[in-house]
Structure 1
């Protein structure tokens, strides 16, 4: 088989190889690039394509690289012409995420994960501001104390909830009382009371100032 030329396929993204068989027939073969994004590692992708595609040799790396960049430019322009488009991808947690929440202004957001941490992020830059560490199991539920945004509550499969200082990452209180996983958390509008819900079929109200239980709701 002899490679004749490359063709670009924009949607869905891919590269078409036109080649000639020994009998003279002209055929095409598709290299699908369905996961291509502005954050893709182009050099690694080129190496993978060259390794897996018998029609291509190392001498074609520059051609493949240029075609991938053309595809990325086209996809990026297409996304930005829409009302909504992919803004940023953050990969910091080492295990799957469970939840996320913004503060009221949208300047920060938090993520929870199976890696037992909650992380605070700057929305504009994507920088990690602080990592909240201390839970011994999955961090499943989380919330800011909006509209203030200076405290965070997290609920975990370790049966505890924690209240944190959103700026420093300091743990202010460990809320102990549930007998199974905590699956939902919230602050009251004034930020003085925190609520937790658990798989133990109860909800509890807590003092944000002291961390003490105010009430247990059953039934």
Structure 2
């Protein structure tokens, strides 16, 4: 084996080794999930050299430089304030979702007006309008980390794959018998998963648009699909109160996660794919052992429906959002609640962490977005100005730009 070069992954922190073996270029990652700004760089570099054969003594100084760069990324100013940069009168009808490409240079918006639009984050300029759907464009996504393709899922029962640069439609995916409400690219960007109100999920070849797998078994609508980090498994959450874990290669069901007493609202793998989190209309969050399919813990406390769950980038912390106007932050490993986020005046439909894991962002039907200290639960800032419910929000890759989307037909860029 011959080491060719190092690559950095900022969130979650890691060093990627690109090496040659038998004439074939390969990669492997050194995950530094527990890296902190005050971690001893010298000691960590020596430990990496001790356990990783590709990191020879001559490379230790280079490893130290890389670790220091990763630490610098974790030092986002704790008291950064966001200010309104642009109000985009994005669509003729209410928005459905927003999503950034990996670098955060562009973002997309979906709408009831049957279009998806591509925007330049720095200028707020509209770069492209993706037209062709005959009903609501509901589910949208970039094929991150590549960011060269966009998928749109629609109430017209189809999906469309687009060139992110030119706005050209590569092809239309047909095969569902009802609205397509969730989409997800696999990490390698070779295939696409779709979930539909027809109770089915499907896997499609990205090159040809051909159907690869048909995941059958749910008895009600599928509202969430998500791949594990390596792309070997897919999870689906359904209104039938269950979550299914599927083998992507064979299309067979590995586990059915049974225990919720009402519809699933969202489901996610954590970073190392050891834990699956599910939120439900039964007011609970459940954490499942991804290997065995057994429920590890039921997180109680919300007094209304749990509408969203989200892991931080390291997969060690989990946030939940509820119709009871609160959000909660948990340690996903110890199952202990760290903080309770109180202050919204109405239901919270969306929750997510910043890339550093230090802040939690919540979007509410009270027309505000709030930014919270993840550890203390203190509200650090309220983003105000939307005149209708806010149902979607996102951080860019570095955590210094926010997009919010509202039923007032606008999205706002905050810097």
TM category, shorter? 0.5 to 0.7
Structure 1's unaligned 5+ residue stretches are 1-80
Q: Using CA pairs below 8 Å that are at least 6 residues apart, which structure has the higher relative contact order?
A: 2
Match in the other structure for 2:186? 188
Deviation at 1:87, TM superposition (A): 2.0
Runs in 1 of length 4+ with deviation above 6 angstroms?
none
2:173 is aligned, of 172, 175, 179, to 175
Deviation at 1:126, TM superposition (A): 0.2
Match in the other structure for 1:106? 104
User: Deviations along 1:169-198, whole A, 9 cap, x unmatched?
Assistant: 111011100000000011110101011000
TM-score of the two chains, using structure 2 as the length reference: 0.33
2:152 corresponds to 1:158: no
What secondary structure sits across from 2:184 in the alignment? Answer: strand
Distance in 1 between the 2:183 and 2:83 partners?
30
Match in the other structure for 1:119? 117
State how 1:64-83 maps to structure 2 within 5 Å: 83=81
State how 1:20-31 maps to structure 2 within 5 Å: none
Distance in 2 between the 1:82 and 1:104 partners?
21
Distance in 2 between the 1:120 and 1:194 partners?
20
- Structure 1 vs Structure 2 CA RMSD: 1.1
Distance in 2 between the 1:182 and 1:208 partners?
17
TM-score of the two chains, using structure 1 as the length reference: 0.62
Indicate the larger mover: 83-92 or 198-207.
83-92
Comparing both structures, which one devotes a greater share of its residues to helix?
1
Deviation at 1:84, TM superposition (A): 2.1
Distance in 1 between the 2:103 and 2:200 partners?
32
User: Deviations along 1:14-39, whole A, 9 cap, x unmatched?
Assistant: xxxxxxxxxxxxxxxxxxxxxxxxxx
Deviation at 1:82, TM superposition (A): 6.5
Structure 2's unaligned 5+ residue stretches are 1-78, 218-415
Distance in 2 between the 1:121 and 1:100 partners?
10
What secondary structure sits across from 2:193 in the alignment? Answer: strand
2:91 corresponds to 1:93: yes
